[in-house]
Amino acid sequence: MLAGIAGCGIYETTGALNPPFGLHITETTLQFTGDNSEDYFAGYVLWYKEDVSEAYTVCVYRAEADIPTIPKDKTSTVNTYTIDIGELQPIDESASFIELRDEGRFFYFAVSSYGVDGEESEKVEFGRWPVQ
């Protein structure tokens, strides 16, 4: 005897978000371009870590630890963003990355696209900062 269970359902899933591209890092800025026309796109998240073997943590931007770090620009789907590193800080410190750099510390930065239900693109890395 052969028995089977069949089910039919309609599931709506969101696709992957386009990751940021065109990343550039200087002594004072992070720059990237995003092309996100997905309906569920909410913005970009900036990440940091101090050691290459660590997991990334969300950056505080302009004294706010919001997710997404940079909200969606409602006027255009393709935008280039330039972020002043002096306005970024680790989530557990009050000093900016610029101040911590002056103490001799190094960091790695990354950025990802973020969706309204927590969808996330891959993290795209800027590399080690300060730039050597």
Band of the pLDDT at 8, cuts 50, 70, 90?
A: low
What values do phi and psi take at 50, rounded to 5? -100, -20
* Whole-number average pLDDT of the chain: 91
Name the residue with tokens 């940021």.
20
**pTM of the predicted model as reported, rounded to 2 decimal places:** 0.87
- Give domain limits for the chain: 21-129
Alpha helix ranges (H) inside the chain: 97-102
In this structure, whether the domain defined by 21-129 belongs to CATH 1.20.1460 is answered with: no
Distance spanning both ends of the chain, measured CA to CA:
71
What ranges make up the beta strands (E) of 27-104? 29-35, 41-49, 57-58, 60-61, 70-71, 78-84, 88-89
